[in-house]
């Protein structure tokens, strides 16, 4: 079965550079979530999109922005990178169920490991 | 706000031992509860879930029961295998309309010794 695809798998950037992470959800999944997992930490919710509109926002720095496109893929843009941004960034997707009051469980990609030097 | 408190690791067990990883939660409303597993270098995989009180989630020999009275969702397995070595995350989702974002516990690293 198709899974959530994230690219790139690994990314190395220098301080103050920018980075773009991409996420391709499972086909027919309309909701995308971004999580950040620091070394030895639990994943922290950053932001989510439903039908190309932002649906919720967590602890996402102002230096980061994200969007969901018409084909439902999503991109996380990170500017003015800091050493503390080094982490594993997960994308997850889900689908609205029935009348839309509930989502299916989240399916996670394998993540993008960002290293800022 | 919502929170998940999870048994700290690391946990090291011998093969075929009994496993319990404790998880308690704090939430308003009626959350859904999940256990996710993360193998080295991989993403989070849903292990099991329960959506209402007294539900039991089960998968691959693992079980967890949604206990509303004790706000707990402890993970158990009767006989662990080396292949169960991974990091296990307890999580909950609130029931905001159309949003199943997850709040995770801190994760428990499990190592099974042959």
pLDDT, position A2: 75
Distance of residue A14 Cα from the nearest chain B Cα, in angstroms: 23
d(CA A88, CA A37): 5
Q: Once rounded to an integer, what is the mean pLDDT over residues A42-56?
A: 91
pLDDT at A3 over 80: yes
Tokens of B50: 């329960």
Minimal CA separation from B93 to chain A, in Å: 10
Cα nearest neighbour of B10 on chain A: A40
The better pLDDT of the pair A19, A102 is held by A19
pLDDT per position in chain B (114 positions), as tens?
Answer: 889 999 888 999 999 999 999 999 998 878 899 999 999 878 889 999 998 899 999 999 999 999 999 999 999 999 999 999 999 999 998 765 455 788 999 999 999 999
Residue A60 is encoded by which pair of tokens?
């996402």
The pLDDT of residue A103 is 61
What stretch of H or E contains A97?
Answer: strand A96-97
What are the chain B neighbours of A31 within 8 Å (beta carbons)?
98-100
Which tens digits make up the pLDDT trace of B82-112? 999 999 999 998 765 455 788 999 999 999 9
Residue-wise pLDDT tens digits, A53-86: 998 899 899 999 999 999 999 999 999 999 999 9
**Region label for B61, one of left (φ > 0), alpha (ψ between -120 and 50) or beta (otherwise):** left
Instruction: Compute CA B45 distance to the chain's CA centroid, rounded to the nearest angstrom.
Output: 11
Tokens of B96: 């905001």
Q: B108: which 2 tokens?
A: 């428990």
| pLDDT reading at A92 higher than 60 | yes
Q: Is the confidence at residue A1, as pLDDT, over 80?
A: no
Interface of B with A in 53-112 (CB under 8 A): 89, 95-107
Q: Distance (Å, rounded) from C-alpha A44 to C-alpha A41? A: 8
| Mean predicted lDDT score pLDDT of chain A | 91
Nearest by CB to residue A55, choosing from B49, B98, B104, is B98
Contacts of B31 (CB under 8 A, 6+ apart): B2, B25, B92, B93, B94, B95
What is the least distance, in Å, from the CA of B106 to any CA of chain A? 5
Residue whose structure tokens are 């989502």? A103
pLDDT at residue A102 is higher than 70: no
Q: Which residues of A23-41 are buried (b: 16+ CB within 10 A; e: fewer)?
A: bbbbeebbbbbbbbbeeee
């Amino acid at each position: 079965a198709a899974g959530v695809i994230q690219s790139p798998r690994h990314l190395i950037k220098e301080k103050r550079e920018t980075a773009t992470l991409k996420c391709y959800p499972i086909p027919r999944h309309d909701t995308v979530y971004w999580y950040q997992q620091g070394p030895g930490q639990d994943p922290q919710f950053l932001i989510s999109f439903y039908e190309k509109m932002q649906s919720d926002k967590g602890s996402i720095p102002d230096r980061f922005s994200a969007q969901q496109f018409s084909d439902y893929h999503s991109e996380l843009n990170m500017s003015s990178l800091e050493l503390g941004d080094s982490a594993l960034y997960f994308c997850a997707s889900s689908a609205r169920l029935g009348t839309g009051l509930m989502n299916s469980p989240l399916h996670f990609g394998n993540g993008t490991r960002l290293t800022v030097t | 706000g919502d929170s998940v408190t999870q048994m700290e690791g690391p946990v090291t067990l011998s093969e075929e031992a009994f496993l319990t990883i404790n998880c308690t939660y704090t939430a308003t409303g009626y959350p859904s509860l999940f256990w996710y597993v993360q193998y080295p270098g991989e993403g989070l995989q849903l292990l099991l879930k329960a959506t209402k009180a007294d539900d039991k989630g089960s998968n691959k020999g693992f079980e967890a029961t949604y206990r509303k009275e004790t706000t707990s969702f402890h993970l158990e397995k009767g006989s662990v295998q080396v292949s169960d070595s991974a990091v296990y995350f307890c999580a909950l989702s609130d029931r905001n309309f159309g949003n199943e974002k997850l709040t995770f516990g801190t994760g428990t690293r499990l190592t099974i010794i042959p």
